[in-house]
Amino acid sequence: MPYALLIALSCCLYFPSAFAKTCPAWPEDRAHGEIRQLRHTLANWDDHYHRLGVSLVEDTLYDQSRQRLEHLHACFGQADTSHPLATARGPIQHPVPHTGVDKLPDEHAVREWMRDKQDLWIQPKVDGVAVTLVYEAGTLVRLLSRGDGVRGHDWSRHLPHLGHLPRQLLQPLDLVLQGELYWRLDGHMQSTAGSLNARSTVAGLMARKRLPADKAQGIGLFVWDWPDGPGSQAERQSRLEQLGLPDTARYSQRVHHYEEAAHWRDHWYGSPLPFATDGVILRQDKRPPAARWKARAPYWIAAWKYPLAQALTEVREVRFRVGRTGRVTPLLRLAPVTLDDRRVNQVSLGSLARWKSLDIRPGDQVAISLAGLSVPRVDRVVHRSAERAPVAPPPAGQFHAMSCWQPSTGCKEQFIARLSWLSGKHGLDLPQLGPGVWGRLVDAGQVNTLGDWLALGNEQLQLLPDFKETRVARLLDSFDKARARPFAQWIRALGAPVPRHLELDSDWATLAARTAMQWRREPGVGQARSEQLQRFFRDPRLQALAEQLREHGIAGF
């Protein structure tokens, strides 16, 4: 169904992100500015989609943006004066209006909807473009776009090219059908491939004056209703199959309770289908006569959408994380959003260069998806805040591979990152010692160098809040393990830029005495690396650290 119509006609909207529950604390002038800007963006998208057949945004992001506008209107007591279907309404009246569909946001809502209803069916919610098909004496004579649900555009000019639409029924009947034109996909699995903007592809093709024959072969039809057909869903499906339209019966299942509906939803989500889907449709067996249908969501049908593959959410804060080597990574703190049952409230932008190119500020709306089904990523900025909050990254050169060997002002984050590397799998591989523990030890003033912790004993640790006897014993055991680690492991744990293939069979004093030229004699060590190694081992702070480790009996120092 066209995305604007789904939103315009739905009275129960599903808000997938945090703006569904909270209203922004904006002054009145900013609220007006933000709403005005969002209206303008949506109007531009609507015009391109309905008038030109061009989609400027992914379907799911349009839906969520429209929902956000509705939410902001409610928050600030404004009437919705936008008209998403202003350019969709056509000159031709549908024989039977297209109803909308309510969206059920979660298991509870689905159970409530099903609770007092009998004779229910479930179908895949095909992600395509809704149409009316008019047959006379069994021949398809007219194809109408959904438009605003009451009046649509005549797409009959494309009928000679749409080879996968049944032009002639197996019986010479006069009838009106409602269905979905979809982009044909071979063995499409929604759970892994997503919708691939299939809906927009079909909409763009149908809006053309001439439909290329090769593209037309990619368009299929799924009939989801026969308004004046037999009285029950089972009868309608059976008769459609007899007329040469078998897919309605093939992809419809009777359900008696929630568990059966959940089963079929999961089944179609993870099974190969010939079309993209964005959820399932639940419908009652019986419904009112077609003469009583209205262009709004009725009580006898509802949609249960799939988990979002791409979500729109607000940037709450932009901060810059400093890593062990001084690399600065922009992080976005987000209004929490759920993607494929995973709650996401923070995402990395990877590099300062990407943050600068996207120019993301607090208040911006960004599209989030999961890379490899697990790692959240920013796909794009969808809406920019009308108010551009200042954001300042660290000055260039402030952090680097040799900065922050102590938690001095501005250095705490990089210093803790050094400690975390030291105790992590790439370093000494010590259990019980992660960023949280290191942070608490640093905050308590117990650790100010990479070696201070070796001097901590039972009494000192037990004085720290929440450091109970069992936890202290585990930490002391990790400290003992550290003392037994070999010299080469310690060198890499401290962050020395030593190539992984290079074996270190000497001691600190020997390595510190090497010149850059001597380092270059090692296999795989070039000029830049040799200078880094010389700088590392001769740095006064690391010379002092080596002396501290020697006093604690660490081999090789």
Tens digit of each residue's pLDDT (9 = 90 or more) over 466-515: 888 888 899 999 999 999 999 999 999 999 999 988 888 889 999 999 99
Give, in order, the Cα–Cα distances in Å from 363 to each of 20, 68, 163, 312, 382.
15, 13, 48, 12, 11
Kindly state the DSSP code that residue 98 receives in the 8-state scheme: P
Instruction: State the pLDDT at residue 17.
Output: 45
Q: Which residues pair with 220 in a beta bridge?
A: 182
**SS3 of residue 130 by DSSP:** strand
Q: Are 16 and 342 within 8 A, CB to CB? A: no
| Residue the block writes with tokens 């890593």 | 323
Q: Give 92-305's CATH code, choosing from 3.30.470.30, 3.40.50.300, 3.30.1330.10, 2.70.160.11.
A: 3.30.470.30
Average pLDDT over residues 112-136: 95
Pick the catalytic residue from 117, 125, 215, 412.
Answer: 125
Query: Which segments of 76-154 does DSSP mark as H helices, in order?
Result: 107-115
Q: Are 352 and 307 in contact (CB under 8 A)?
A: no
- DSSP at 103: E
Q: Which of 33, 29, 40, 90 is CA-nearest to residue 65?
A: 40
**Listed residue (428, 484, 433, 435) closest to 461, CA to CA:** 433
Q: What is the mean pLDDT of residues 37-57?
A: 83
What does the pLDDT look like over 282-328, one tens digit per residue?
A: 999 989 999 999 999 999 999 999 988 889 999 999 999 999 999 99
Q: What is the CATH number of domain 310-383?
A: 2.40.50.140
In degrees, rounded to 5, the angle at the alpha carbon of residue 520 between the alpha carbons of residues 515 and 522 is 110
Element holding 8 (H helix, E strand): helix 3-9
Q: Smallest Cα–Cα separation from 495: which of 294, 324, 279?
A: 324
Query: Which runs of consecutive H residues, i.e. helices, occur in 365-468?
Result: 412-423, 435-443, 458-462
Q: What is the DSSP letter of 273?
A: B
**Any catalytic annotation for residue 125?**
yes
Task: Provide, rounded to the nearest whole percent, the portion of the chain with pLDDT above 90.
Answer: 74
Query: What pLDDT shows up at residue 94?
Result: 97
* Prediction pTM value: 0.74
pLDDT at 373: 63
For the chain, the structural domain boundaries read 3-75, 92-305, 310-383, 412-551
Dig out the tokens for 391 from the structure: 């954001």
Of all residues in the chain, what percent carry a pLDDT higher than 70?
Answer: 94
Residue 20: pLDDT above 70? Answer: no
Residue 1 pLDDT greater than 70, yes or no: no
* Number of Cβ atoms within 10 Å of the Cβ of 379: 14
